[in-house]
Amino acid sequence: MYGRGVLVVVVEGEIRFANGLTLRVREFVDFKQGRIADYSYAIYRGEEKIRWYDPQPHPEDPKLASTFPHHFHEEPDSKHNRKPAPRISFTAPNLPALIEACAGLGG
Determine the structural domain holding residue 90 and report its residue range.
2-105
Please give the Cα distance from 78 to 31 (Å, whole number): 33
Please give the Cα distance from 64 to 85 (Å, whole number): 8
Listed in sequence order, the residues at least 6 apart from 68 whose beta carbon sits closer than 8 Å to its beta carbon are 57, 59
Lowest mean pLDDT among 1-15, 43-57, 86-100: 1-15
pLDDT tens digit string along 61-70? 999 999 999 9
DSSP string, 45-82: ETTEEEEEEE----TT-GGGGGGTT-EEEESSSTTT-E
* pTM listed for this prediction: 0.88
What's the domain count of the chain?
1
